[in-house]
Amino acid sequence: MTAFVIEVDGEPAGVVLAEAAGVRFFASDRAYWDLEGEVFRSARHAERAAARLQARRIAAGRANGPAAAAVAPHTRGGIWAEMVGRYLGGGGGPETPARQRAAA
């Protein structure tokens, strides 16, 4: 299984795992849950989508004050350990939009 870490401005956004249709994005931070489960042609395309999403969040924060730009806090060790268990070993993890769609 091939996996790549996706970062935006040096911060982790998620990982992509290779599959037949391209790479599937798995968010490591709530700020990127809108991309959860999306399939991209390449890791670079996923990285660009994450950067665009972050840019929109920042622009919205500037328009609505600093509180709107806040990104949910995370601890890198906890998030990455959870992701490894969730996607490579199975089980656990928070509810995400992709999980909600799959359960429906």
Domain boundaries, the chain: 3-103
**What average pLDDT is seen over the chain?**
75
Separation between Cα atoms, residue 63 and residue 50, nearest integer Å: 20
Q: Which residue has the higher pLDDT, 95 or 24?
A: 24
pLDDT tens digits, 29-51? 888 999 999 999 999 999 999 99
Query: pLDDT band at residue 102, thresholds of 50, 70 and 90?
Result: low
8 A C-beta contact, residue 74 and residue 13: no
Q: Which residue has the higher pLDDT, 73 or 79?
A: 79
* Predicted TM-score of the model (pTM): 0.61
The length of the chain, given as a count of residues: 104
Helical segments of the chain, H only: 43-64, 66-69, 76-83, 97-103
Separation between Cα atoms, residue 71 and residue 87, nearest integer Å: 23
- Taking the CA atoms of the chain, what radius of gyration do you get in angstroms? 14
Task: For residue 61, count other CB atoms closer than 10 A to its CB.
Answer: 15
Q: Which residue has the higher pLDDT, 95 or 20?
A: 20
